Structures are given as C-alpha cells and as structure tokens.
C-alpha cells in the first residue's frame, strides 16, 4: 500500500497546511499591515532568521525540482511558511505596536511580506492561481509566470509604500 487515503485525511491536511499555515499567515500579515501601516508596505531590513531561510529556498528548489522531488521542494517551501508563522508568535507584533516599538514592527512586517513574496513565487509551479492571488494581495501586478526564478533568492524586492490588497481568505477552512 502506497499510503492511506481518506476524505478526512485530505480535509485535515487542507485545513492544516493550506488554511492554517499559508492562508492564515497571509491574512494575519495583511491585516497587521492595514492596521499598523495604513495598508502600505513599510520599510524594513528584515529579520535574519526569516531572511536566511527565504533566501536559501532558491538553492533547495534548484536541487529538488530537476530531481522531480516535488514533496521535498514543497517541504522546503513550508519551512519558510512555518518560520514566518513562528516569527509572528515569538515577536508578538500586537505587543510591539502597543509598546510603540515601530521600527521593530516595521522590520517584522516587511520580513513577513517579503517571505510571502518568495513563497508565492516558489509555489507557482504547484499552485499557480494561489501564487497569483498572493502576489496581487501583496500589491504585485506582474504575473509570476513572467518573473525570474532569481527573484526567489533576492531579498528586498518589495517596494515601500506599495498598497496591499487584502481579499477573501485563500483557503477557507472546511468544516466537517
């Protein structure tokens, strides 16, 4: 037997990986940008842990994709997603805002947005519509299919002051 398949397992994986991990990351990040920075991408250098993990992703994809290791490639992409989600929990941006630690908040949100940009470009071969939706919500109008792969390992391509366009959740939770 190659693996267990059930509708419950698919729904659980969808809710966990898609709705909770990437969908919630995008929604939370854009909500905070709207709340704290009037819906505009703030300036920021980046948080080292997320920056390093995001930039290293290109090398991982360059190894895995030609070998047709799609599960491995997606696993590496999700490491970036998980790092970003952990960064939110550890940094507590709501506390940074309350304590008026604006520079730290700017840097955090810029890092999350830039990580999401890299994730969106990286998932294009697997989920092109999702990739395009994330890009649009980040204020990027260019079609991911026309972007260069080298943009995956480039940090800092988001332009300060670009308006984000939060829309409906990418992956609404499935209730059983």
Q: Give a yes or no: residue 160 inside a domain.
A: no
Q: Give a yes or no: residue 155 inside a domain.
A: no
**Domain holding 52: CATH number?**
1.10.730.10
For every residue of the chain, which 3-state class applies, written as one string?
A: CCCCCCHHHHHHHHHHHHHHHHHHHHHHHHHHHHHHHCCECCCCCCCHHHHHHHHHHHHHHHHHCCCCCHHHHHHHHHHHHHHHHHHHHHHCHHHHHHCCCHHHHHHHHHHHHHHHHHHHHHHCCCCHHHHHHHHHHCCCCCCHHHCCHHHHHCCCCCCCCCECCCCCCCCCCCCC
Q: Give a yes or no: residue 18 inside a domain.
A: yes
Instruction: Write out the residue range of the structural domain in which residue 57 sits.
Output: 7-143
Q: Give a yes or no: residue 128 inside a domain.
A: yes
Question: Has residue 23 got a pLDDT over 70?
Answer: yes
Q: Give a yes or no: residue 92 inside a domain.
A: yes
Q: Write the pLDDT tens digit of every residue in 148-160.
A: 777 777 888 999 9
128 compared with 44, residue with greater pLDDT = 128
Question: Has residue 170 got a pLDDT over 60?
Answer: yes
The number of distinct structural domains making up the chain is 1
Q: Give a yes or no: residue 44 inside a domain.
A: yes
Q: Write the pLDDT tens digit of every residue in 43-79.
A: 987 899 999 999 999 899 999 999 999 999 999 999 9
Quote the pTM value. Answer: 0.90
Q: Is the dihedral of CA 42, 43, 49, 53 positive or negative?
A: positive
């Amino acid at each position: 037997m190659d693996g267990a398949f059930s509708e419950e397992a698919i729904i659980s994986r969808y809710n966990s990986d898609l709705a909770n991990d990437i969908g919630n990351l995008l929604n939370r990040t854009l909500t905070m940008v709207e709340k704290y920075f009037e819906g505009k991408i703030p300036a920021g250098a980046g948080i080292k842990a997320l920056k390093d993990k995001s930039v290293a992703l290109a090398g991982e994809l360059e190894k895995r994709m030609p070998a047709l290791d799609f599960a491995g490639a997606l696993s590496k992409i999700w490491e970036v997603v998980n790092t970003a989600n952990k960064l939110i929990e550890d940094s507590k941006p709501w506390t940074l805002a309350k304590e008026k630690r604006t520079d730290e908040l700017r840097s955090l949100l810029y890092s999350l947005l830039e990580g999401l940009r890299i994730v969106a470009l990286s998932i294009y071969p697997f989920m092109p519509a999702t990739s395009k939706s994330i890009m649009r919500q980040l204020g990027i109008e260019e079609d991911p299919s026309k972007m260069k792969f080298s943009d995956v390992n480039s940090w800092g391509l988001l332009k300060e002051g670009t308006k984000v366009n939060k829309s409906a959740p990418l992956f609404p939770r499935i209730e059983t």
